[in-house]
Structure 1
């Protein structure tokens, strides 16, 4: 099996990498154009915000089910099928916009389908990667995939989506449909990989429970999943009011706020280039522990500073940390989880990750409303200090 994987690291990974780059560009285009489309149909703020929630909701509803099916079916074919279905949904939306019959309900339905497809495709790609990349190459492969997300989704896709929408409201969604179709074609060219294990068909509930139990019994992955879920509550609680923080605390205009947001992407891009080298030089344990310290320092610095440059600098460092942490954790998960459980364990991790983010976003607005815009950052710093203390010793196992 190892020889088979090593032989496939070149062309097959490059196809997967290119497919990810193409679809991430399309995702970034739709992320920018989506809110503009909803705002062109309605001026109700709740309905505009609801479009984002419609795409996030499937992660809370279907993450565990998607993980179970990723472990039951051919992962390569699953990615191809889901990407073609997402392309079809976007073609329908493009036609609705072009013919003037688009409504909020239509937009919500399409975005919900896109989010549902994302739960399957993202989980399947993460589970497929160890089958086409040698174990010693996984860190670099994960870093490259993260780089395509940062460049395509954060840098190139969003300004392109806004520009295309100004040219034609239907254009960005048509382009995204094309990117999904191209991505499906590229993944289809990956050579079939052997099934992880021939298993008797069991009830879906039992399959999901197997993934939950496996993660919970693995001390390191349990620590990483719980830590990141709690960390996302702290992070999203603080950054839910970041636009108000930028205006009231840092005194930035809207343009300055937009520039400040790009510091995340700058740091993320740097993080993808250094993740493999940092892990090799210092080891996974040191890198993960350093990341927790960076989280505490980030919230503390933002709580006390009133200087935009200081805030920008710490956000660059935070962006580096998030990408390095994500690459290292994904690599650990792909190395230690049995192949037939990769989809389910990955979906449990994603559920804790995104569930924490959703809860934190709700808490942030409440905290800032009762006190000051810096209050969520102070609370986040205290919470992250506690999380760091909780995770410090179990992270020793990452060295293995």
Structure 2
């Protein structure tokens, strides 16, 4: 398996350290060992040899989907993520109804959703590394079923809604690192980037579907029926995960029996994961890169309606984001399909860097949609043989689609890099640290962008953001 050779060696002696970043053994070698050949108690419990053989034959979506364990965790992801995103939309509706659509009340709700990720996701990674990942995946969804039903008890009590929201968000923290650290133990070799492409595609699709079906179901059946449907989706996610093998680390699972001792060692485990990342610069860079796309999408969701309605004159405030997110989602799907079919032939580090720099340029082009439209009409007025009647929407749609493709070309390869470079013993903690960084790094831009947009306008704000992304990409190239 090729190392993520982001940092160029200065000499032969440093090449081994800086290309692999993990000392004297090759990257993710433990993933190639079967349960019989792996040192006793030092590696997670993996599926049997027949499962491994079946899971490594062939590439592409069909080969990956023939892996029953992957299919189970993929279906669980679709069900739980769709339910989660629909739940947050329903929650905003409930809180908005009780607070008179107060921005402060709704904003506090979003903070309660994000805050547990910053506070507890790294801690949850410790538990993921020490307990059965199947138990965590199933148990998290079962608890979320009861959490959703608890909303029915506080439908008219905003304080109760806040409390349940925080608790559900806390309980949800172990799910993503458990899911992410289980995936490379169920999918092997070149199939991993295809599996991650499917995961990234369905993750983004579930966000769109969740926010799309929630208002429809609420409008047709009311909030109570909607909550019952979401509870059923979480229950479905738990049910399909039960047949998974009990993926765990025998050595660490044995030490997890003493809860007090586990709590005492938690901070030591977190420090170990942090040192693991710091000692592996390519892994640290990958964690930074993978946090950029979610931050960008949140910023676009924040300033998008004003940009589309006021600057471009597209749609109404409540519907304008469709014209941006729909083509971006289509581009994301195209990008994930390309990666799923041919991604194993591409060098991941170069693909990510090129896509990152291109993403910055695309954001700048998005900000310049009005300028591009005016220039296009000027060329037409000058008598050049170009299509007439081109509107700003026509220009923005392909730009948004290109943005989606670039996000796909960043997220799936980077997620694969993170999973490959993090050894099984610390993978859960590293993925939890990824959650913390993604949520934490998104907060300052969200605060700054609102102020900058109010002073300089949304196009200037998007331009600054695009320039910043280009600088980050060029900086990585320069120091690599």
Matched, 1:105 2:159: yes
Q: Which secondary structure does the structure 1 equivalent of 2:190 belong to?
A: helix
- Report the Cα offset of residue 228 of structure 1: 4.5
- Report the Cα offset of residue 288 of structure 1: 0.5
Separation of aligned partners in 1, 2:217 and 2:367: 38
- Report the Cα offset of residue 134 of structure 1: 1.3
Structure 2 CA distance for partners of 1:20 and 1:286, relative to 1, 3 Å:
same
1:202-243, Cα deviation, whole Å (9 max, x unpaired): 611110011111111111111222344467667755653222
Separation of aligned partners in 2, 1:236 and 1:251: 21
Length-normalised TM-score, structure 1: 0.90
Structure 2 CA distance for partners of 1:39 and 1:194, relative to 1, 3 Å:
closer
> Where does residue 272 of structure 1 map in the other structure?
336
> Where does residue 414 of structure 2 map in the other structure?
329
- Report the Cα offset of residue 360 of structure 1: 0.8
For structure 1, list consecutive stretches of 5 or more residues without a partner in the other structure: 396-400
Separation of aligned partners in 1, 2:294 and 2:82: 25
> Where does residue 176 of structure 1 map in the other structure?
230
> Where does residue 4 of structure 2 map in the other structure?
none
Separation of aligned partners in 2, 1:342 and 1:33: 33
Separation of aligned partners in 1, 2:297 and 2:151: 34
- Report the Cα offset of residue 341 of structure 1: 0.4
Structure 2 CA distance for partners of 1:40 and 1:233, relative to 1, 3 Å:
closer
Matched, 1:61 2:119: yes
8 Å contact kept, 1:21–1:149: yes
Task: Please identify the structure whose Cα radius of gyration is greater.
Answer: 2
> Where does residue 398 of structure 1 map in the other structure?
none
Task: After superposing the two structures, state which structure 1 stretch, 184-193 or 220-229, moved more.
Answer: 220-229
> Where does residue 213 of structure 1 map in the other structure?
275
> Where does residue 90 of structure 1 map in the other structure?
148
Higher helix share: 1
Alignment match of 2:172 (pick from 106, 115, 118) = 118
Separation of aligned partners in 1, 2:323 and 2:292: 28
Length-normalised TM-score, structure 2: 0.76
Separation of aligned partners in 1, 2:290 and 2:79: 28
Separation of aligned partners in 1, 2:293 and 2:343: 21
- Report the Cα offset of residue 179 of structure 1: 1.1
- Report the Cα offset of residue 392 of structure 1: 1.8
> Where does residue 251 of structure 1 map in the other structure?
313
8 Å contact kept, 2:190–2:344: no
Matched, 1:6 2:52: yes
1:102-156, Cα deviation, whole Å (9 max, x unpaired): 321222222222322332101110011111111321111112222322333313x
Matched, 1:165 2:165: no
1:285-332, Cα deviation, whole Å (9 max, x unpaired): 231022112221122102222123322221211112222321111111
Q: Which secondary structure does the structure 2 equivalent of 1:203 belong to?
A: helix
Task: After superposing the two structures, state which structure 1 stretch, 195-204 or 249-258, moved more.
Answer: 195-204
Structure 2 CA distance for partners of 1:348 and 1:89, relative to 1, 3 Å:
same
Task: After superposing the two structures, state which structure 1 stretch, 383-392 or 105-114, moved more.
Answer: 105-114
- Report the Cα offset of residue 361 of structure 1: 0.6
> Where does residue 81 of structure 1 map in the other structure?
139
> Where does residue 477 of structure 2 map in the other structure?
392
8 Å contact kept, 2:154–2:161: no
Separation of aligned partners in 1, 2:462 and 2:365: 9
8 Å contact kept, 1:220–1:394: no
- Report the Cα offset of residue 362 of structure 1: 0.5
Alignment match of 2:399 (pick from 314, 326, 332) = 314
Separation of aligned partners in 1, 2:304 and 2:202: 26
How do 1:234-249 and structure 2 match up within 5 A? 236=298, 240-249=302-311
RMSD of Structure 2 on Structure 1 (CA): 2.3
- Report the Cα offset of residue 277 of structure 1: 3.5
Q: Which secondary structure does the structure 2 equivalent of 1:252 belong to?
A: coil
> Where does residue 302 of structure 1 map in the other structure?
366
> Where does residue 282 of structure 1 map in the other structure?
346
Separation of aligned partners in 1, 2:97 and 2:442: 28
8 Å contact kept, 2:358–2:470: no
Structure 2 CA distance for partners of 1:11 and 1:236, relative to 1, 3 Å:
closer
Separation of aligned partners in 2, 1:73 and 1:83: 16
For structure 2, list consecutive stretches of 5 or more residues without a partner in the other structure: 1-32, 35-47, 56-66, 256-261, 371-391
